[in-house]
Structure 1
């Protein structure tokens, strides 16, 4: 008989070796009874209290094809630990002619076996729920001592051998940056872009997403408050509902229970801003940073983020852009730059030198020069690539002729192999060059962009912020000067960051005022 083996271990203090022992027992049983194992399904660190087990579901799905006549488990509790799932999936298997066999609990179709099977399944469910209760009891005691209760700790924290929390300074820099940018009114997209440019990743090593940024900003632990048992219980399908909270009376909160990363003031400001955005509005004190996401440090290349010092004791408030690397990683010595000055400089650059009908002809001439240069450069590169291929093929022919004339030597064969590899690379390079078109500028579209009134008709700071991006893709702040990089595309819109031949770059440098 052809059988399928199913093995599983949960995270309840079991290890991967548990699966090896189960599979060994099933293999011995199959050999003893003359059966053939045609498929093996393994679920690691998966609970049997629900059906969120990928390989288990694969086994049930594969039963439709009738490629095996029995599903074999080490014990019935490996198949399911609640009676509903046990009965449901056993019926699914039987409907496709597949029986369930337990190596340690051999049962037949007799009435006595039906009763014994029900008892075993009931005992498995009791064991699972009792174990869960004991585990929760231990976790509750751990929580009262502010100890880690398993799983992956939040970004910014590591776990000591005694299960207490410690600050991971590299990750904590990313956390502080996320909160600072949120408090300053930056969007999640701006924050994600800045984190990526600085090389930060999530705890799992993946890129940040809007959801991960949101979860970090809502995590009270960063204020030094230990929080446990906050998430609502699983739903009827066994799915977690971590975005839903239990009643406050059920949640354990211990202030000062873990090291602090974020101040209470910053955390409250961020929560207020998030609540305001959720309601569809903006905080009254919000300042829109017009260059957010396109201004960079000229020393380390990191994004510069907008910040604000509120007015105190009669002193006016002060908004500025600062290097995110200097603020969070502290390797950069670039100074802050006044936000109003920098924004006025960029707007002046656009109004006077780009969106200026009087200069449209001059700019279009400059774009045409760039286009002609690119066309010539592309043609030269293609011709050079063709000549390189011709030279290589001539060398290959010479060596081939020499070997044919009896001049066989291993060094010639090695040289021939190397030349053939070079020819393949050269042919691939030529194909790539030939496939890359040099885009001709659409002068009508460019003329329309140069005469656009988007800046003068902007009614809100957000409108103005979007309008700036129609002209500027990058502003680089150096200690003594500022580069404003504007890029026009042949389609009449902006490509940011500029990374293709579809863009035409116009750069101007301005002296930075010294304090």
Structure 2
């Protein structure tokens, strides 16, 4: 068993030299092989180079499942409790065991206790109790669902015009047999609008069909109040709708999904919206009684798919992907209908890289918030310790990946890659596209196209591609 030490100079704790000596004594007493020590001084000011080196060291070890990371205390991992929790779960996500030098215990066992103590639960409990009291009375909390409005006594009251639309949606789905997409299309064609006067989509229609409020039952904060307001849909109709929705979900889950290589890159040339990959299966019976299945994969304008806007513009997936690849590899100048402009000059490329850094930092902040929510839920007893650890490890693993992407993006910004360097990167990517394409797995093919392409604008009979490099 190997041990790795990580120590940080906090100003009020032991000097780094003493922590290092304590680590060697710890290894000697427990029979561990001291593999390495990583240090962050008090002057690091949030840089924490030693911790990043520790992470890279662990990633490069195939035997990290047999590695212990020793720290002087839980506080050594971060300057505050949120950072400490993030780093503890990052180490756990790499499969290593974290131990404290003082008692040889896993400091994670005390992490939740410290988190609970740091939160003022009394205020939150009072707010929750007040919300539950309102919910028990059937008083509306938040925005009312489509078909209702908030009355003078904070109860749901029927809006006749909207209620008619709700019943219409259920009838179209249950009795007329229309799918969710066709219902959205029908509503938009008839000029019906949502709560916010917007267009209907598959999501908004599905939310209507799933909402139990239309049974006359109000549910909030774990409180259910039957018959708190007038029902719009009968129990029998609602049950039959759920059965059909669930059966459709199971059918989709059983299908093997295929990767669409141009996902996120293809845009409709007519309305400018994204094109999404769609799979359709057909089943028919031959004259001899045998059955035959066929699957069709194509790209279709998202406006058409979700809202039934735009015209019916589709391209077969395999043909479009091959056409894009051939356009990238074409040696002679491209035809007029297939042009390859630069995504931008050096300044534009640098701005895009800086924007990417900002987006990645935003995603990391949201991950911190998610981890904090999981910790809060565990502190309130809503999550078991095991479930909390599982969720924390998952969030931390995603965070490590994002931190790597952010570090790479920041290096790109600092280097201010020149046009010549971009040209070299482009040539290397094109060489892989030309020589290695058939040997790449679909996710690798998709990543390679994403490395080369900024976007692909698609019309019925031609395309226009923009290079990222």
Asked if these proteins are the same fold (TM beyond 0.5), I'd say no
Normalization by structure 2: what TM-score?
Answer: 0.35
Greater C-alpha Rg:
1
Determine which structure has the larger helix proportion and give its number: 2
Q: Which of 1 and 2 has higher RCO (CA within 8 Å, sep 6+)?
A: 2
